[in-house]
Structure 1
Amino acid sequence: MSALPPLIWLQAFESAARTLSFTAAGQELGVTQAAISQRVRLLEDRLGQRLFVRHPRSLSLTPAGQAWLPSLQDGFARLTEGTREVFGDASDAPVTLRTTPVVQQNWLAPRLPAFRRQHPEVALRLVSAIWPDDFGPEGADLEIRYGEGAWPGMEALPLGGETLLPVCAPALAETIARPEDLAAHTLLHAAGFAVGWPSWLDAVGAPALSSRCAPLICDTQTMTLALAAQGEGVALTHHRLVEHRQDLAIALDRPIESDEGFWLVRPVRPRAQPEAALLWDWLKDRLGASSLGE
């Protein structure tokens, strides 16, 4: 093959491979789903190999696609870095910070005003991610992720030890004195976490309660906390996410630790723009001393 395929074909593949969706790739690149599909088809024809397995309602990468994707992403990162080194960054480009809605609402919101007062010249852009696959170096200068901290190509700083405990509306908390009292209430589950209600109930010596409590499963912690605040049940959540909330109270002060936690994350490459480095340093200075409690 004497020449690289067109850049728009490569962009279409990279976006679709990262999101595993032609529709999402089209939304990201500002074109239709059909355009992404066509560009990927043309790319596959040029390469002589299939990059995706098309399932009825989903995509998966072929072994060739999986093997090629990291090299392509590294090439885009090098191109971005080289462009910044030669031409610099746009002076009015905002610093993009990506994290989950619950971290934005319960952790960032109480803290960002102080940063903005100290550095009014820095423009900020907050974007949301819910599932692990929503994260990645593309399009974000900094991230706050949840996990075990091992992400290739990323620098990660822990936000401190993580504990989980049950919370609910203050009036409801007054009726709960021991784990057995939970049997009369709905347990609000947030999907996607390694430690959940079964782990907590087992840790406090009441594993059988899981089958006696009515469950309600949500796909975000934001929703479990909103329902808990309305008195609709008891949510198991991270202590740091409710420390500033007046509409939630600890139902039982029986925290358990998790191997997963929150991390301040940024790509190792490309080199961060000065404004992004400023926000990184500001957040880093607040990690250990207060356990993010100030």
Structure 2
Amino acid sequence: MLWLQAFEAAARTLSFTQAGQELAVSQSAVSQRIRLLEDRLGQKLFVRHARSLTLTPAGRAWLPSVQEGFARLAEGTAEVFGPRVEAPVTLRATPVMQQTWLAPLLLDFHRRHPQVVVRLVSAIWRDDFGPEGADIEIRYGLGHWEGSVAFSLGDEELLPACSAGTAERLATPQALAGETLIHAVGFAVGWSAWLERAGVPGLDRQCGSLICDSQVMSLSLAARGGGVALAHRSLLAKRADLVAPFALSVPSDEGFWLVRPARRSPRPEALLLWDWLVAHGGETNGELP
């Protein structure tokens, strides 16, 4: 078990040092456990660089099975023995949802239910969500996740967002020529879809580009006058540092969802937070100020 814990933590963080901090052991102890595990398996799991780690193909292929095994073990233990009373409610969400939608709700929830400890975990990529077990997640997608209960936070549409100073230059979509378009990867709807809907397909070839791996960064750059980003209308409505230069939006089949495991009944503290978030789910769909 110690070998598997060392592998899962090191594979997730790609750092023996961070894995050791999580497991409360030294970096060398983690490294030794990994070497013993590799000897036992007869294959290397990591490629060791001077200052970093990468997983080998075998390590990448094995990691989901190990994580799922730990998740099933934790769920089975909770079902038989019950969760620890002092265990916090773990809520996983993207940084942009944490900052824009969750922050005020969690503060209000904490004031009303100070006895419930909430542990907030960040996730950016789709693979960051999964079997290693949060009580509740806020995911972005179509809402079809096997083994999960999902509640829609509303339909979504995307539209350009930028600083007030940048917006003064943008009387029409054609005025985007020469501006910097900020892209957030991982969304089904992007700039090409909005430009086509605006009647200026291909205009992005006349624009500069910045590409971000998270929407929180793309919106931060736009707010600082670094260009124009695509934002979800529901989140843009809650930001005072961004404006929408055009009313035109493009709908998305994807959206934000509250998600929890279907295999086990939520404990009372988690259900209390779930019900709170469900009750306030409609607040993601505000009108632009």
Q: TM-score, normalised by structure 2?
A: 0.83
- For residues 31-180 of structure 1, the aligned pairs below 5 Å read 31-32=25-26, 34-46=28-40, 48-50=41-43, 52=45, 54=47, 58-62=54-58, 66=61, 69-70=64-65, 72-138=66-132, 140-180=134-174
- Residue 278 (structure 1) aligned to one of 263, 272, 279: 272
The AA in structure 1 aligned to 2:58 is: T
Instruction: Give CA deviations for 1:225-276 in whole Å, capped at 9, x if unaligned.
Output: 2222222321111111111122211111111122322121223345432111
Q: Structure 1 residues 137 and 167, CA, compared in 2 at 3 Å: closer, same or farther?
A: same
Which whole-Å CA distance do the structure 2 matches of 1:169 and 1:96 have between them?
34
Aligned to 2:241: 247
Q: Which moved more, 1:81-90 or 1:189-198?
A: 81-90
2:209 aligned partner, one-letter code: P
d(CA) in 2 for partners of 1:219, 1:283: 26
| Aligned partners of 1:187 and 1:234 also within 8 Å | yes
Deviation at 1:11, TM superposition (A): 1.9
What displacement does 1:14 show?
Answer: 3.5
Q: Specify the alignment match of 1:211 in structure 2.
A: 205
RMSD (Å), alpha carbons: 2.9
Single out whichever of 127-136 and 249-258 deviates more from structure 2: 127-136
CA contact 1:137–1:267 (8 Å) conserved in 2: no
**Structure 1 32/52 Cα, relative in aligned 2: closer, same or farther at 3 Å?**
same
Q: 1:96 is paired with a residue of what secondary structure?
A: strand
Contiguous gaps of at least 5 residues in structure 1: 1-6
Q: TM-score, length-normalised on structure 1?
A: 0.82
Q: Which moved more, 1:8-17 or 1:164-173?
A: 8-17
**After alignment, is 93-102 or 260-269 more displaced?**
260-269
Secondary structure of the corresponding residue to residue 110 of structure 1: helix
Measured after TM superposition, the shift of residue 215 of structure 1 is 1.5
- Of 14, 18, 42, the match for 1:21: 14
Shift in Å, 1:170: 2.6
CA contact (8 A) 1:173 1:250 kept: yes
Amino acid in the other structure paired with 1:200: W
Shift of residue 210, structure 1, vs aligned partner = 0.6
* Structure 2 gap segments, 5+ residues each: none
Secondary structure at the aligned position of 1:279 is classed as: helix
Code of the aligned partner of 1:21: L
- SS of equivalent residue, structure 1 residue 248: coil
- Counterpart of 2:225 (choices 209, 231, 234) is 231
C-alpha distance after superposition, 1:56-75 (max 9, x if no partner): 65214429x736853x4454
Find the aligned partners of 1:266 and 1:130 in 2 and give their Cα distance: 18
CA contact (8 A) 1:176 1:251 kept: yes
Change (3 A) 1:189 1:144: same
Percentage of matched positions with identical amino acids: 55
Cα distance in 2 for residues equivalent to 1:292 and 1:116:
23
For residues 88-134 of structure 1, give each alpha carbon's deviation from its aligned partner in whole angstroms, at most 9, with x where no partner exists.
Answer: 33333321212121111111123223323332322222222222233
